[in-house]
Chain A
Amino acid sequence: MQRSESATIGLRNGQPASPEGAPEMKVEREITIEATPGEVWEALSEPALLRDWLFEDGDERELEVDEAEEEQRLAFRWHREGQGETSVVFTLEAVPTGTRVLVVERGLRVPVTWGPALNALASVSSMALA
Chain B
Amino acid sequence: MRQAAADEVFTALADPTRRALLEALSRGAPETSSRLAAELPITRQAVEKHLAVLGRAGLVERTREGREARYEMTPAPLADAASWIAAVGGEWDDTLARLQRAVERRR
Which of A's residues lie within 8 Å of B, judged by CB? 1, 3, 5, 7, 16, 20-23, 25, 27, 29-31, 33-35, 39-40, 42-44, 49, 52-54, 56, 82, 101, 103, 105, 108-113, 115, 117-118, 121-126, 129-130
Say which residue of B6, B92, B98 sits within 8 Å of A29 (CB atoms): B92
Q: Are A31 and B96 in contact (CB under 8 A)?
A: yes
Say which residue of A1, A20, A52 sits within 8 Å of B10 (CB atoms): A20
Q: What 17 additional pairs, Cβ within 8 angstroms, besides A1-B97, A7-B88, A21-B13?
A: A3-B96, A31-B96, A31-B97, A33-B103, A35-B104, A39-B106, A52-B98, A52-B102, A53-B98, A53-B99, A113-B13, A113-B19, A113-B22, A121-B78, A122-B79, A126-B83, A126-B89
Q: Enumerate B52-72 residues with CB–CB distance to A below 8 Å.
A: none
How many B residues touch A, CB cutoff 8 Å?
Answer: 43
What's the A-B contact tally at a CB cutoff of 8 Å? 143
What are 15 residue pairs bridging A and B, where the CB atoms are less than 8 Å apart in the complex? A3-B93, A21-B11, A23-B13, A27-B85, A27-B89, A27-B92, A33-B99, A35-B107, A52-B102, A108-B88, A111-B6, A111-B12, A122-B85, A125-B79, A129-B87
Say which residue of B14, B75, B85 sits within 8 Å of A110 (CB atoms): B85
Q: Using Cβ atoms and an 8 Å threshold, which residues of chain B touch A23?
A: 13
Which of B's residues lie within 8 Å of A, judged by CB? 3, 6, 9-15, 19, 22-23, 26-27, 75, 77-79, 81-90, 92-104, 106-107
Q: Using Cβ atoms and an 8 Å threshold, which residues of chain A touch B27?
A: 117
B71 → chain A closest CB, angstroms: 16
Q: Are A121 and B10 in contact (CB under 8 A)?
A: no
Instruction: Select the residue from B81, B85, B106 with max chain A CB neighbours within 10 A.
Output: B85
Main secondary structure of the interface of B (DSSP, over half): helix
Q: Are B106 and A5 in contact (CB under 8 A)?
A: no
Instruction: Give the complex CA separation of A46 and B49 in angstroms.
Output: 56
Q: Are A115 and B102 in contact (CB under 8 A)?
A: no
B94 → chain A closest CB, angstroms: 8
Q: Using Cβ atoms and an 8 Å threshold, which residues of chain B touch A54?
A: 95, 98-99
Instruction: Select the residue from A56, A111, A112, A124 with max chain B CB neighbours within 10 A.
Output: A111
Write the chain A residue with the least CB distance to B92: A29
Q: Using Cβ atoms and an 8 Å threshold, which residues of chain B touch A125?
A: 79, 82-83, 86
